[in-house]
Structure formats: structure tokens, C-alpha cells
Amino acid sequence: MPPAAPYRLSPTPAPRSTAGPTNHLTRRRFLQVTGFSAAALALYSGEYVRHDLEITHLPMVIRNLPDAFQNFRIVQLSDIHYEEYTEPFYLRRIIAEINALAPNLVLITGDFITHGPPRIVPEHAIYACAQELSAIQCPQRLGILGNHDCTVGASFITRVLHDHDLAVLNNRYVPIERDGQRLWIGGVLDPSTSHPNLDLAIPPKPDGPVILMAHAPDFADDLVVYPNGHLVDYMLSGHSHGGQVRVPFLGPLALPPMGRKYVMGHYQFGNTQLYVNRGVGSVGVPFRFNCRPELTVFTLQRAT
């Protein structure tokens, strides 16, 4: 009987994997995903912030304030830029907030509309904006023009606003009277696009405090050296949007001419004070970051 053939152990084939391909998260992929997520979050945040209206309540402390104006309430609205990125629903919400505050006076410190974007028809935008603003419930509404308004056409925009019961102070002043006492409100044209005239905007012998509206905040440097500049107790401005996009630890990404020195908030120059409102609208991009839109509510108080 022949010898049996040797038994050979066949190699066992490796089990076939039923899992799909492994997805390794590389450093490059991680940075791509993180960067995209951060950008998406920033865009969402910026879109949200531009509608996240902040109402700032401040005392407006004025020396020799008449008794009749103690606790008099003024709301400052600025930089609406209607129809660029300020939608009708947003402006109506702002106006509802103003009406709920029951102010004695509303002051609008310029840039009702935007000049430049080809999709915006300025004539339509200012008519629509003026119509919306006519819903403000207040004894008196006064305004000035900003650089965008003056570029579109100062006389045209002034006429439209006047037709909707909003007086525009183009280098002029008016008194506000209560119980036989006066508060004076003046306004100058925008210095970068027109010719401001402080002789026409400041009463020469005021028998009460003077509040001056000037769209560009850096115009304060001209005011404080002007011979009659000391007659102004308070200057109200806008224009800078507070920077609109403010990077933490760095500040604003960009600022406009005549709005680079005094960007937002309160400043003091001897007996004259300045407040720079951040505005409610946006320009260039529909985006605000770390810089909420603002309504400012001033309650007048006598300095002690």
C-alpha cells in the first residue's frame, strides 16, 4: 500500500470586511470645516445683529436747563439707509419702539437713504422712507441731511421730508418752547458734501440751551474752535455706524472720512458734549458684527 500523501494545511483566507472605507479627518480637512463653520456662524451672527436694535438710555446733563425742560425726552435716530439693507418691516419696528418711548422730540441725524447702489432708485427710497417716518407719534420731528442725502440732492430730499411734516435744518435753528421757556435746536449741512455754516446754525444770543445736529462727528473739532461754538451745549452725530463691523481686540475694520476720530458714544469738550449714535442701518454689506444698531433716548437734566 503506497504511503499516504502528506496533509497540507491550506492558508485560511482573511475575512472580507463589510465596513465602508475609513474617513480620516486630516488636519487640512479639520481646518477647512472649522473655517467654513466659523464663516457661516459669523455671517449668521452679522445678519442677526444688524436687526438686533439696542435702545440706549442716557441723561443729557445741561447747565442752566430751564425748569420747563427738566425730564424732557429726546430720541435720536440716525443712518436709516432705507432700501439698501433697511427693510420696511425693520423700520416699522424701529418706529414702534420710538412711539412706545413717548418722546417729546425726535431728532434724525442724517442719511435717510443710500447713494450709489444701482438697484436703489433714490426718488422712490426717500418717498417711501418719509412715508414710514410720518408714523412717528411725537409733538415735533426735526432732522438734518447726511453725506448720502446731500449727494442724491439736498433740496429734493429736504422738500420730500418737509411734505411729510419733518423739518430739515439745513444751516438753521429753531426754538422749542414750553411754558414760556426755550430750548434751541440747530443743524448744519454735511461738511464732506456741502457747506456747513455755524453762523446760521447757532442762535447768536440764545435764551436757553443749544443742541446742534451735525451728521459727521469729527466736525466737533471745527465746532469747538469756532467763535460761537461755546454756545452749543450738546452736539448729536451719526455717520460712523460705530464701525459697523468691530473685530474683538482690533476695533472697526473701516471708518468713513469725518467719522474716524469720534466713532461712537459720549465725548466731552469743556462745556460742550458730543454723542455719536451707531445708527440703525448698514452700508456696503448687510452685516453688523459686535456693533448693534442703536436708538438713543436722552432725558434732559440740569447739571448740579
pLDDT, one tens digit per residue, over 235-245 is: 999 999 999 99
Query: Is it the case that residue 40 has pLDDT exceeding 50?
Result: no
Q: Are 111 and 215 contacting, i.e. CB atoms less than 8 angstroms apart?
A: yes
- pLDDT-based confidence at residue 214 (cuts at 50, 70, 90): very high
CATH architecture assignment, domain 54-302: 4-Layer Sandwich (3.60)
| Greater pLDDT, 1 or 94 | 94
Mean pLDDT of 21-43: 52
CA dihedral of residues 90, 92, 93, 95 (deg, nearest 10): 130
Q: What is the pLDDT of residue 118?
A: 81
pLDDT, the chain, mean = 90
Domain residue ranges in the chain: 54-302
Query: Is it the case that residue 43 has pLDDT exceeding 80?
Result: no
| Greater pLDDT, 118 or 15 | 118
Condensed to tens digits (0 to 9), the pLDDT of residues 81-115 reads 999 899 999 999 999 999 999 999 999 999 999 99
Q: Rounded to 5 degrees, what are φ and ψ at 122?
A: -55, -40
244 grid coordinates: 459697523
Q: Which of 23-32, 40-49, 80-89, 180-189 has the weakest average pLDDT?
A: 23-32
- pLDDT-based confidence at residue 26 (cuts at 50, 70, 90): low
Query: Is it the case that residue 156 has pLDDT exceeding 70?
Result: yes
- pLDDT-based confidence at residue 170 (cuts at 50, 70, 90): very high
Q: What is the pLDDT of residue 3?
A: 53
123-158 b/e (C-beta count within 10 Å ≥ 16 → b): eebbbbbbebbeebebeebbbbbbbbbbbbbbeebb
